[in-house]
Amino acid sequence: MSDTRIERAYETAREAYGAHGVDTEAALAGLDAIPVSVHCWQGDDVGGFERTGADLAGSGLQVTGAYPGKPRTIGELRADLHRAFSLIPGPRRLNLHAIYGEFGGAKVDRDAVGPEHFRGWVDWARSEGLGLDFNPTCFGHPRAADGYTLCHRDPAVRRFWIDHVQACRRISVFFGHELGSPCLHNLWIPDGSKEVPADRAEPRARLRESLDAIFAVEHPAARMQDSLESKLFGIGSESYVAGSHEFYLAYAVARNKMLCLDLGHFHPTESVADKISAILPFVPGIVLHLSRGVRWDSDHVVTLNDELLAVAEEVVRTGALDRTVVALDYFDASINRVGAWVAGARAAQRAFLAALLLPVSDLRSAEEGGRGLDRLVLREEARTLPLGAVWDIYCLRRGVPPGSSWLAEIGRYEREVQSGRSG
């Protein structure tokens, strides 16, 4: 579609939304205030560069597919990220895992990682105009082979993982200081059991003690923020997960920590959107890990589905954008990995644009006036307002391809860059 046609379509859309009391220009400005934290691990199937090929066995994770063009070095991963970011409109951040440090071929165990191993990422992020977020990597390691880390029976193993998480928090402070933007440090562990355990309480007691030891060291909120991520189950932990939603919710409330809600970490019939307004009064903020579960937490690429729309709408309606971190978390090696980043990020941005374009004032007025039918019909009418035209103008103004035209750029990148990779 030509620029002129996009601009004409937008003017028509602007009038249509305006008839419902919605200012599309304000919505576009609002979208510019929502950075999406893009996860590095989609790019190389959660492999990292600690050593060749992380072993995900016992971690609760599984990456499927073997699409060609996987990056083999940090330089290639950064090139892929740069290409992806060039096709994503609006503000972005980069979310790193601890196994993505630059270790120079040296054996650096997890408890010894430090800012010096991530200085290259800081320099690169600064050149790209990005903030950085961070995650400890409590999987794919001999000391996590039995599926337990911070809950482990062995105090020495627990101490190792406590030291790892504390090291990662120091790296997060380094990121925040160097880039002038608070780094989100998000903690997820795989600890759990394939069969029903004889004792559910003791591992959680150990987890609480480990977390207390980790958070005994406080860091400035202007540099880094802590969040805790729960999970319903994982591969190898189908019957019991120590870090359940209830456990981390209680801990986050008691210790004033942010809570991470991953869309794939709950039962398929649960509404993550409904949890948002219930949790926010009691925690400093929430983190959304946008993913798409298909029958289970299979981490499919995010699409503009009902669940994603409901979550975005709830954040906007609740007025919680300033207390919400929007991040991606999925891994699909069955399709072009760079395209997977772009597709998911753009879906997330479109969901929040749709939420910002809702006629919230009219909906609230109908609700407060007891006009239930009006509320129902207005919500239905909003579904067919021309979101696509507003999205296209957003892309056009920010210099990225509108609609699906970005696919041609991914095809070109695959032919010219990714196809040359082997081994």
231 is catalytic: yes
d(CA 230, CA 195): 19
Check 50, 226, 299, 313 and give the catalytic one: 299
In the structure encoding, which two tokens stand for residue 260, read together?
Answer: 């991470």
Residue 163 CA to residue 143 CA, distance in Å, equals 13
Q: For residue 59, which amino acid is it?
A: S
* SS3 state at 289: strand
Task: Using the structure block, give the residue that is written with the tokens 């190792």.
Answer: 160
**Among 164, 219, 245, 265, which one carries the catalytic annotation?**
265
Instruction: Choose the catalytic residue: 45, 50, 229, 314.
Output: 229
How wide is the angle at C-alpha 287 spanned by C-alphas 191 and 42, nearest 5°?
70
Helix, strand and coil in the chain, % to nearest 5: 50, 15, 40
Is 391 an active-site residue?
Answer: no
Question: Catalytic: 262?
Answer: yes
Residue 320, SS3 per DSSP:
coil
| Whether the Cβ atoms of residue 98 and residue 110 lie closer than 8 Å to each other | yes
Burial string for 192-205 (b: 16+ CB within 10 Å, else e) reads: bbeeeeeeeeebbe
- Degrees to nearest 5, angle at CA 124 with 35 and 127: 75
The backbone region for 346, taken as left when phi is positive above 0, alpha when psi lies in -120 to 50, beta otherwise, is alpha
* 374, 114 Cβ separation under 8 angstroms: no
44 assigned to active site: no
State how far the Cα of 256 lies from the Cα of 253, in Å rounded to an integer: 5
Which residue in 152, 231, 245, 275 is the catalytic one? 231
Query: Catalytic residue at 117?
Result: no
Sign of CA pseudo-dihedral 205, 210, 213, 214: negative
Q: At what angle do helices 372-383 and 360-368 cross, to 10 degrees?
A: 160
80, 297, 314, 392: the active-site residue: 297
Catalytic hit among 329, 332, 392, 414: 329
Q: Which of 262, 307, 362, 392 is catalytic?
A: 262
Residue 25: CB atoms within 10 Å: 11
Question: Catalytic: which of 188, 341, 391, 406?
Answer: 188
**Is 265 considered catalytic here?**
yes
Query: Residue 68 and residue 336: Cα distance in Å, rounded?
Result: 8
Of all helices (H) and strands (E), which one includes residue 21? none
Catalytically annotated residue among 164, 185, 257, 289: 289
Active site residues: 188, 229, 231, 262, 265, 289, 297, 299, 329
